DNA sequence: ACCGCTGTTCTCCG
DNA sequence: TCGGAGAACAGCGG
């Protein structure tokens, strides 16, 4: 699912679930979720969760005795809390707590990732070092946004999804932020005005805030989950009416990902409104 | 039943 | 160096 808001909610859930509890056993199945990482080291995790930091879509776990874990939810990864003995579909790894609860990392498609690493080294892992500013964890001004993104020659939406420029936006929230800012996804970053950058940084914040509210609660919420309505302003609304002006929302492909935009609210030309 | 789609990231080419 | 295509995988809707 997981873009910045969903990963942040996962982080908050885990912090709450671990609060005051001890990890008494960690076990994991032999799956590609561990990639090359030493799965045996996962089983050595134990004791208190001393800190859990999110950077972009990555989770950095620090347990006792300097044992750490890098986590990524991939496309379909999620953490769920169950009682001992409960069966969880696609459970790949489990934290057993001292209160009989079990925190499962469940991931059908296994694009997610678990990498046990000494906690002191988590931040110096290449994938973590490569991340740009995180709008929520680091804060983001319009100037910082411009500095990170304006130099890209790619389409604006692709640049926003580049984790090395800004960490945390994915296909949904990049589209949502651009809609909120009234900017067309195919705009070239170098053509944005200072006012565009200001609207865009506010739109990114608004999109993240909305995502955080949307995802509140115990269980992760997925787009197609429970047949619930599409909560997004433009994402997934191809062919349907724009939520602002009712003109038909267009969908097209950028760098292999589907993009949604309202041609009227997000003009391709110069500046947005 | 089959085809094409899906919220991510990495590797491999040109 | 950069950018696009394809791959990794499973489920779901049309």
pLDDT above 60: residue A271: no
How confident is the model over A38-47, as a mean pLDDT? 97
Residue A59 neighbours by CB under 8 Å, 6+ apart: A7, A10, A11, A14, A52, A53, A69, A70, A71, A72, A73
Instruction: Encode pLDDT of A62-78 as tens digits.
Output: 999 999 999 999 999 99
Contact A265, A242 (CB under 8 A): yes
pLDDT-derived band at A229 (thresholds 50, 70, 90) equals confident
Residue nearest to nucleotide C12 (CA to C1'): A224
Active-site entry in A11, A54, A55, A57: A57
**CB < 7 Å to strand B — which of 169-208 in chain A?**
170-172
Q: Please check whether strand B approaches the CB of A164 to within 7 Å.
A: no
Please confirm, yes or no, whether A3 is among the known catalytic residues: yes
Active-site entry in A3, A8, A115, A146: A3
Residue nearest to nucleotide C9 (CA to C1'): A109
pLDDT above 50: residue A225: no
User: For A78 and B9, how far is CA from C1' in angstroms?
Assistant: 17
| Neighbour count for residue A138 (Cβ, 10 Å) | 15
Give all domains of chain A, ordered by start, each with its CATH number: 4-129 (3.20.190.10), 142-261 (1.10.8.50)
R_g of chain A computed on alpha carbons: 20
Please confirm, yes or no, whether A57 is among the known catalytic residues: yes
What span, in angstroms and rounded, lies between the C-alpha atoms of A247 and A160? 25
User: For A100 and B4, how far is CA from C1' in angstroms?
Assistant: 43
What span, in angstroms and rounded, lies between the C-alpha atoms of A61 and A106? 17
Q: Report CA A109 to chain centroid distance, whole Å.
A: 16
Bridge partners of residue A248, in order along the sequence:
A241
What span, in angstroms and rounded, lies between the C-alpha atoms of A1 and A3? 6
User: For A11 and B10, how far is CA from C1' in angstroms?
Assistant: 24
Q: Using the CA of A159, give the nucleotide whose C1' is nearest.
A: C3
Q: Using the CA of A251, give the nucleotide whose C1' is nearest.
A: B5
Please confirm, yes or no, whether A220 is among the known catalytic residues: no
pLDDT-derived band at A214 (thresholds 50, 70, 90) equals confident
- The set of strand C positions with any atom below 7 Å of a protein CB reads 2-6, 8-13
User: For A28 and C11, how far is CA from C1' in angstroms?
Assistant: 23
Q: Using the CA of A131, give the nucleotide whose C1' is nearest.
A: B9
What span, in angstroms and rounded, lies between the C-alpha atoms of A26 and A57? 23
pLDDT-derived band at A221 (thresholds 50, 70, 90) equals low
**φ/ψ (deg, to 5) at A11:** -60, -50
Q: Please check whether strand C approaches the CB of A111 to within 7 Å.
A: yes
User: For A110 and C12, how far is CA from C1' in angstroms?
Assistant: 17
pLDDT-derived band at A223 (thresholds 50, 70, 90) equals very low
Expressed in percent and rounded to 5, the helix, strand and coil fractions of chain A are 30, 25, 45
How confident is the model over A230-259, as a mean pLDDT? 95
What span, in angstroms and rounded, lies between the C-alpha atoms of A272 and A267? 6
Please confirm, yes or no, whether A199 is among the known catalytic residues: no
């Amino acid at each position: 699912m997981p873009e910045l808001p969903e990963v942040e909610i996962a982080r908050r859930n885990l912090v709450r679930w671990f609060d005051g509890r001890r990890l008494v056993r960690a076990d994991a199945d032999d799956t590609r979720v561990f990639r090359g990482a030493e799965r045996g080291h996962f089983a050595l995790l134990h004791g208190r969760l001393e800190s859990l930091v999110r950077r972009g879509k990555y989770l950095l776990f620090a347990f006792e005795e300097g044992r750490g874990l890098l986590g990524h939810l991939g496309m379909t990864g999620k953490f769920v809390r169950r009682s001992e003995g409960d069966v969880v579909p696609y459970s790949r790894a489990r934290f057993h707590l001292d209160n009989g609860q079990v925190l499962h990392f469940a991931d059908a498609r296994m694009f997610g990732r678990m990498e046990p690493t000494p906690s002191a080294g988590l931040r110096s892992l290449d994938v973590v070092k490569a991340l740009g500013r995180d709008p929520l964890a680091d804060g983001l001004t319009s100037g910082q946004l411009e500095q990170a993104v304006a130099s890209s020659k790619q389409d604006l939406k692709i640049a926003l999804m580049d984790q090395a420029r800004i960490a945390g936006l994915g296909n949904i929230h990049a589209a949502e932020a651009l809609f909120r800012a009234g900017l067309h996804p195919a705009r070239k970053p170098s053509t944005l005005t200072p006012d565009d950058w200001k609207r865009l940084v506010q739109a990114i914040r608004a999109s993240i805030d909305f995502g955080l509210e949307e995802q509140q609660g115990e269980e992760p919420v997925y787009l197609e989950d429970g047949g619930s309505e599409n909560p997004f302003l433009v994402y997934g609304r191809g062919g349907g009416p724009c939520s602002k002006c009712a003109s038909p929302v267009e969908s097209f492909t950028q760098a292999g990902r589907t993009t949604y935009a309202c041609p009227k609210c997000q003009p391709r030309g110069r500046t947005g409104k």
